[in-house]
Amino acid sequence: MLKMFSAKAKSCQIASLALAMSSVLAFQAQAADAKAGQVKAGMCVTCHGALGLSTMPNAPHLAGQPAIYIEEQLKQYRSGKRANEVMAVMAKPLTDKEIENLAAWYASIPIEVGQPR
Ligand code: HEC
């Protein structure tokens, strides 16, 4: 009885290990794609600039912002938690994956700062 139990426990361990490994693989496969984000960002260029330096005085720069921050803001615009008419329209059709990719793209752009003049 005890032996049967431990055999079962072992196969259970193997199964959960396999599950953990497959979720690691799935995670890797789903890693954010900055290149795809750059393509998607074509619709953001008018206001946020081709390299995330905004061309409109009322639009913030996105270059070099942490991905987690950009992702959070886009999800909040999408849900309406952060209210802005323009960004609500922009964020509405975006999927979670597209948001991750856009965030990865803007986060990947290096920025340099200097002493104030
Ligand atoms: C028509 C102009 C316009 C376009 C196009 C546009 N944005 Fe924006 N975006 C703005 C403005 C204006 C704000 C500031 C809104 C506010 O006050 O919350 C903003 C804010 C943001 C913020 C928040 C930044 C911060 O510092 O909190 C993110 C992230 C963002 N936009 C991403 C995008 C992405 C990604 C796209 C393309 C899918 C996009 N925007 C398209 C005008 C635009």
Q: Please report, for the domain that includes residue 68, its CATH number.
A: 1.10.760.10
Quick check: is 117 in a domain?
no
Per-residue pLDDT at 70: 98
Q: Is residue 5 part of a domain?
A: yes
Atom of ligand 1 nearest to the CA of 82: 18
Compute the average pLDDT of residues 32-45.
Answer: 97
Report the pLDDT value the prediction gives residue 28, as an integer from 0 to 100.
47
- Answer yes or no: are the C-beta atoms of 67 and 103 closer than 8 Å: yes
Q: Work out the mean pLDDT of the chain and round it to a whole number.
A: 86
User: Apex CA 116: angle with CA 111 and CA 117, to 5°?
Assistant: 120
Minimal CA–CA distance to 104: which of 46, 41, 53, 59?
A: 41
Q: How far apart are CA 88 and CA 76, in angstroms?
A: 9
* CA dist., res. 86 & res. 89, Å (int): 5
* One domain, residues 5 and 39: no
98 burial via Cβ count (<10 Å: 0-12, 13-18, 19+): middle
Whose CA is closest to 49, among 87, 106, 101? 106
pTM of the model: 0.81
In this structure, the residue with its CA closest to atom 42 of ligand 1 is 59
Structural domain for 55, as ranges: 32-108
Give the count of domains, the chain: 2
Residues 17 and 38 grouped into a single domain? no
Q: How far is the CA of 36 from the centre of ligand 1 (A)?
A: 18
- If asked whether residues 39 and 23 sit together in one domain, one would say no
